[in-house]
Structure formats: C-alpha cells, structure tokens
Amino acid sequence: MNENEDKVSKVNFEIETYEKKIKKLKKNAPFAIIGGILLSLIYPYLPRRYGRKPLIEQMEYFNAVLFMGIIYFIIYAISYFYLIDKYKKEIEALNRRKISLESKIGEYKSGV
C-alpha cells in the first residue's frame, strides 16, 4: 500500500505549492499596484500602434491617467480574484483526493 501513501505525499506537496502561489500573489499585490500607478502616469505619453498619436494628444493628461488607471485596476482585480479562486478550488479538489486516498489506506490497514 506504499503506492497510496506516495500519492498522498504528492497531493500534500501540490497543496503546499498552491498555497505558496496564493501567498505570493498576496505578497506581490502592492508591487502590482505601484506598477499600475506608474504605468498609468507614463502610458499617455507612449505612441500607440501603427503611427497613431499618443493618448495625451487626444485627451487631457488627467483624463488619460484616470482612464488608464481604471482600465488597469479593473483588469488586475479580475485576474487577481480569478487566480485566487482557481487556486482555492484546486486546493479543495486536492483535499478531497487526499481524503479518499487516506480512506483507502485505512481500509487496507484494517483489512490486513
């Protein structure tokens, strides 16, 4: 029954990996926010594709910064919460798998 015990240890390792990913996302959130603010301040001056005029030439600087900030933070919030939810669901699935493997191990040991 060593095979199921190996599977349990692999599942535990995967759970720890996903928990580390969640912690890393939460730890890097302030850096992403600072990066978003800097991007919002710089982006209006950058030329866009195919020789289009920069955003600063189409609207006022404050409006361009506000527009870019809102777009960035909406995209960041959606991706942040999507990834955390995805990782938590994966952890739940792994916990269910771990419980079923442990019950198989218990049945084997009690049957022997």
pLDDT for residue 47 is more than 90: no
Mean pLDDT of 2-30: 92
CA 77 to each of CA 20, 40, 45, 48: distance values in angstroms, whole numbers, following the listed order:
19, 15, 25, 25
Q: How far apart are CA 82 and CA 97, in angstroms?
A: 23
Quick one: pLDDT at residue 101?
Answer: 86
Confidence bin at 35 (pLDDT 50/70/90): very high
Q: How far apart are CA 27 and CA 15, in angstroms?
A: 18
pLDDT for residue 4 is more than 90: no
pLDDT for residue 1 is more than 60: no
pTM: 0.78
Quick one: pLDDT at residue 112?
Answer: 59
Mean pLDDT of 23-35: 95
Mean pLDDT (the chain, rounded) = 90
The more confident residue out of 98 and 49 is 98
Contact between 23 and 17 (Cβ < 8 Å): no
Quick one: pLDDT at residue 5?
Answer: 81
Half-sphere exposure of 36 (CA within 13 A, CB side): 18
